[in-house]
Amino acid sequence: MADAQTPAAAPTPAPAPEPKPKVPFSPILLKHINEPDSHTLAHYAARGGYETAKAHIGITVPGDLIKLVDDSGLRGRGGAGFPTGKKWSFLAKGTGKPIYLAVNGDESEPGTFKDRYILERDPHQLVEGVILTCYAIGSKHAFIYLRGEFILGYQRLEAAVQEAKAKGYVGKKIFGKDADLTITVVRGAGAYICGEETGMLSSIEGGRGYPKIKPPFPAVSGLFGCPTIVNNVETISAVVHIVKNGPAWHKQWGTEKSPGFKIFCLSGAVKKPGIYEVPLGITMREMIEVHGGGLKDGRKLKAVIPGGLSAPVLTAEMVDKCTLDYESLASLGSMLGSGGITVLDEEVDMISAIYNTMRFYHHESCGQCTPCREGTGWLEKVAHRFHHNDGHQGDVELLGDIAKNMRGRTICVLADAAAMPMQSYLQHFKKDFEAKVKETAFVEKQRTYRDEITPTAKSITATGAGPSALDVGSNQGSR
């Protein structure tokens, strides 16, 4: 089962590269995940669980909570990194419609598995976060959408909600105050696109996970046409600790623009893959060498995918310059994304890797927008040719052209998510592609093929099946 053994989240204090005074850091969200029965209410209550919610529900003004989260500078941990407090303040007010909170636990980005640990090992932390968030935004109904693969996570979260309900933390008049809250746990069924916020909302509404065009943003018109706040599981869990300890406490870690801490998921050719909660702004090298224990069997680093499969790839030279915060990765042309770091060593064939990536996106495209539905398919097909050492002349340019024409032309960003890695592979590993190009140009090959199977126009006319047989000149005379 999933909870067999986990690499312990590294307790070592991280040396921050910023001039800020170094503050020792130990895991916050993942502090208790390796303790037995950490998913139960008894365990959570023993370590001060639900005390924060009790202290604020019905006492603090909701607007103050929003301001507090805004001041902390917490940014969405799902991938886009949008400031959470700002998102909450965009909520449409006075519409008379109910407000919903939708917690995104779909976590479908390959390379990411942080939410799995929170849901399986510490679900009450999330429930408390949901209670606080709902109180802050004035919502009475929260949906938590989990991906279908989280089997144990679903069972434990559902059990946690029931436990909280029995205690009166969820339901009518929570904590004896004048506030109601229903938490509904929805289980998906294996669709990457449901990790996109509007796709997830479509799925909760009982349809295919088709994303919707923005604007209107969910904060104005989301679930069932009502104002909806969509946040990641990790973001909501972090809210508990920020409300408890205050914005200044959160800001002591991280960089100026990316304050706080984040869970990173390390996979690939490292000695100790797993999840590591660190302050934002530590170097990528530190993550790989200190936390990950370096590369397996003394292999050499070739590339790193820094933020889930959709993040543009970083070469070994770029890795040396990279720190783990939103700005640094953006300046390198990549993104922090959901924090799924995959280390590729020199044995990895980059062409196989990009073919695998393109196959993934082709499979997961929902099919609404033509540039994505067809573009991902084309990228996969052309990458497949390279994968089988059968690239044609002009194919490298063709890949770049398709990728360029996919970006920014679709409802959601899945097309970009497929095009970005392709463009970065083409940029940094062009030689790998060119080594697999055969001599014949694809267009020429097609032309030869067409001439072989298609009779020319001349031969059609000669046999009487051509235009001459359809020439109906006699009709013209009668008119």
Partner 1 sequence: MSPQSTTAHRTEFSPERMAKFHEYAEEYPNKRSALMMVLRLAEEEFGSITDEAMEIVAGLCNVSVAHVQGMVTFYTHFKRPFHGKHRFMVCATLMCALEKNTDAALDQIKARLGIAPGQRTHDGLFSCEKVECLADCDKPPVVQCDNEHFCSMKGAVLDQYLDKLLKEEGKSAAEYKAKSPVDMDPRVPTLPAHYNFPGETETGARKTENKDPYLKAGEGALTTNVPGPLATPFTVPVADGVNAKGAPSNNRPGHDSAGNFSNPASNGKHGAKHG
Using CB under 8 A, list all residues that contact partner 1. 1-2, 4, 7, 107-113, 116, 141, 147-152, 182, 184, 186-192, 203-209, 224, 265-269, 273-275, 309, 340, 342, 344, 347-348, 352-353, 356-357, 360, 363-364, 366, 478-479
Compare residues 84 and 108 and give the one whose CB is closer to partner 1. Answer: 108
Compare residues 84 and 122 and give the one whose CB is closer to partner 1. Answer: 122
User: Which one, of 330, 354, 345, lies nearest residue 419 by Cα?
Assistant: 354
Distance of closest approach, residue 265 Cβ to partner 1, in angstroms? 7
Distance of closest approach, residue 404 Cβ to partner 1, in angstroms? 23
Compare residues 204 and 240 and give the one whose CB is closer to partner 1. Answer: 204
Distance of closest approach, residue 86 Cβ to partner 1, in angstroms? 27
Compare residues 140 and 407 and give the one whose CB is closer to partner 1. Answer: 140
Which stretches within 138-175 are classed as H helix? 151-167
* Torsion angle of the four alpha carbons 222, 224, 227, 231, in this order, in degrees rounded to the nearest 10: -50
Distance of closest approach, residue 48 Cβ to partner 1, in angstroms? 30
Task: Please report which helix (H) or strand (E) contains residue 117, including its range.
Answer: helix 114-121
Task: Please report which helix (H) or strand (E) contains residue 145, including its range.
Answer: strand 141-146
Compare residues 259 and 273 and give the one whose CB is closer to partner 1. Answer: 273
Distance of closest approach, residue 205 Cβ to partner 1, in angstroms? 5
Distance of closest approach, residue 226 Cβ to partner 1, in angstroms? 9
Compare residues 208 and 445 and give the one whose CB is closer to partner 1. Answer: 208
Residue 144: beta bridge partners? 103, 185
Instruction: Give the DSSP letter of residue 171.
Output: B
Distance of closest approach, residue 344 Cβ to partner 1, in angstroms? 7
Distance of closest approach, residue 83 Cβ to partner 1, in angstroms? 26
Do residues 87 and 121 lie in contact, with contact meaning Cβ atoms separated by under 8 Å?
no
Compare residues 240 and 411 and give the one whose CB is closer to partner 1. Answer: 411
Q: How many helices (H) and strands (E) does the chain have?
A: 21, 11
Do residues 119 and 105 lie in contact, with contact meaning Cβ atoms separated by under 8 Å?
yes
Distance of closest approach, residue 421 Cβ to partner 1, in angstroms? 10
Q: Is 325 helix (H, G, I), strand (E, B) or coil?
A: coil
What does DSSP say about strands 301-305 and 314-315: parallel, antiparallel, or unpaired? antiparallel
Amino acid at 217: F
Compare residues 1 and 453 and give the one whose CB is closer to partner 1. Answer: 1
Distance of closest approach, residue 194 Cβ to partner 1, in angstroms? 8
Do residues 345 and 294 lie in contact, with contact meaning Cβ atoms separated by under 8 Å?
no
User: What is the Cα–Cα distance from 126 to 330, expressed in whole angstroms?
Assistant: 29
Do residues 99 and 227 lie in contact, with contact meaning Cβ atoms separated by under 8 Å?
yes
Q: Is the peptide bond before 216 cis (omega within 30 degrees of 0)?
A: yes
> How many Cα neighbours within 13 Å face the side chain of 186?
24
Distance of closest approach, residue 276 Cβ to partner 1, in angstroms? 10
User: What is the Cα–Cα distance from 424 to 428, expressed in whole angstroms?
Assistant: 6
Do residues 111 and 305 lie in contact, with contact meaning Cβ atoms separated by under 8 Å?
yes
Compare residues 353 and 412 and give the one whose CB is closer to partner 1. Answer: 353
Compare residues 65 and 420 and give the one whose CB is closer to partner 1. Answer: 420
Compare residues 7 and 83 and give the one whose CB is closer to partner 1. Answer: 7
What does DSSP say about strands 141-146 and 100-105: parallel, antiparallel, or unpaired? parallel
> CA Rg, the chain, in Å?
27
The residue assigned the tokens 């095009």 is 419
Q: Which residues contact 247 (CB under 8 A, 6 or more apart)?
A: 68, 69, 71, 72, 73
